[in-house]
């Protein structure tokens, strides 16, 4: 396996960064999780835009133009002979000293791109749907660490994931500080009620899959899409519920906190959107060949 490390392609064993890297010491950095389908890096431009927005807010200068970053992703996929796969793009603050002040990181950020095969959720989850729970860990306050930032500091989500693991479920709902549903630990959440598609407007990451699904619903299914504040009560009484994310794509949810959602089986709107999503992943993005 070849890893992109600061402009060079190096073997996995040689891809090393310093223990003084502030990404390691403080989670001070940004990342993206991206997918390639049949030689198309799905919505790569949108992923890079989101990465650069995170870096801008965090005041990290990658030193690369967006175009150069896109080329680096494609180069990594090609170097690994992958037409389908998962890309983890990491930008750290770089090497500093044992103090959290980012001004101590005088060098360049470390830029790392890993391209690998993707591990997917088991097929039965898509067929039968997930049972999930709400966990006690609240999603970060928007003025603490804004959930829009895809930073290396994922402890908020990891704490929620531990609670999901303890409850024996594969994903968990996190509420925002006001008690509204925000998102899951690594997925956005949607509900369908009376033919309207709804998803939380605040306190969540603006997922690339989420954006795509909202567009498909509005343009191809001609259904009304609302970004709004949604309570657990509304989710319990939804006709359908599903999660979206780069890894999961669209995955149906059939039970939340012991309450059956709709018929208790994956619903028709979810199935239709999943099919439309599959079609678009092979078309919408940066094309390349090996």
**Which is nearer to ligand PXG, 21 or 183 (by Cβ)?**
183
Residue 34's φ and ψ, nearest 5 degrees, are -130, 155
Length of the chain equals 290
Catalytic residue among 67, 106, 127, 150: 150
Binding segment (CB under 6 A) for ligand PXG, from list 54-62, 207-215, 222-230, 269-277: 207-215
Beta-carbon contacts of residue 69 (< 8 Å; ≥ 6 apart) = 48, 51, 52, 62, 89
Contacts (CB under 6 A) with ligand PXG, residues 144-163: 157
From the list 107, 145, 125, 188, the residue with the least C-alpha distance to 30 is 145
User: Considering the complex, what minimum distance in angstroms separates the CB of residue 24 from ligand PXG?
Assistant: 18
Contacts (CB under 6 A) with ligand PXG, residues 160-189: 183, 186-188
From the list 41, 33, 30, the residue with the least C-alpha distance to 71 is 41
Token code pair at residue 191? 């509900």
Contacts (CB under 6 A) with ligand PXG, residues 10-49: 33
> Is 150 a known active-site residue?
yes
Binding segment (CB under 6 A) for ligand PXG, from list 92-100, 202-210, 221-229, 267-275: 202-210
**Which is nearer to ligand PXG, 108 or 215 (by Cβ)?**
215
What's the rounded Cα separation, in Å, for the pair 107 and 122? 43
User: Considering the complex, what minimum distance in angstroms separates the CB of residue 263 from ligand PXG?
Assistant: 26
What's the rounded Cα separation, in Å, for the pair 287 and 216? 21
Q: Which residues bind ligand PXG (CB under 6 A)?
A: 33, 157, 183, 186-188, 205, 207-210, 244-247
Write out the catalytic residue numbers: 150
């Amino acid at each position: 396996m070849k890893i992109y490390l600061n402009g060079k392609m190096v073997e996995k064993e040689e891809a090393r960064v310093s223990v003084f890297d502030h990404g390691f010491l403080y989670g001070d950095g940004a990342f993206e999780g991206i997918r390639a389908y049949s030689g198309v890096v799905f919505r790569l431009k949108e992923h890079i835009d989101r990465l650069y927005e995170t870096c801008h807010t965090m005041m990290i200068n990658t030193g690369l133009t967006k175009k150069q970053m896109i080329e680096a992703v494609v180069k990594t996929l090609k170097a690994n002979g992958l037409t389908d796969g998962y890309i983890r793009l990491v930008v750290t603050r770089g090497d500093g000293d044992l103090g959290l002040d980012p001004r101590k990181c005088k060098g360049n950020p470390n830029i790392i791109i890993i391209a690998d095969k993707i591990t997917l959720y088991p097929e039965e989850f898509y067929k039968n749907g997930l049972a999930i729970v709400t966990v006690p860990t609240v999603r970060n306050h928007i003025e603490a660490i804004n959930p829009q930032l895809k930073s290396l500091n994922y402890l908020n989500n990891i704490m929620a994931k531990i609670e999901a693991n303890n409850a024996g479920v594969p994903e968990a709902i996190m509420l925002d500080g006001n008690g509204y549903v925000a998102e899951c630990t690594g997925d956005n959440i949607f509900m369908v009620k009376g033919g309207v598609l709804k998803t939380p407007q605040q306190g969540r990451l603006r997922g690339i899959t989420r954006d795509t699904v909202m567009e498909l619903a509005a343009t191809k299914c001609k259904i009304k899409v609302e970004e709004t504040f949604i309570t657990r009560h509304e989710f319990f009484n939804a006709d359908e519920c599903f999660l979206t994310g780069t890894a999961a794509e669209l995955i149906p949810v059939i039970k939340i906190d012991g309450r059956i959602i709709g018929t208790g089986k994956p619903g028709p709107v979810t199935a239709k959107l999943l099919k439309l999503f599959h079609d678009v992943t092979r078309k919408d993005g940066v094309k390349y060949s090996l």
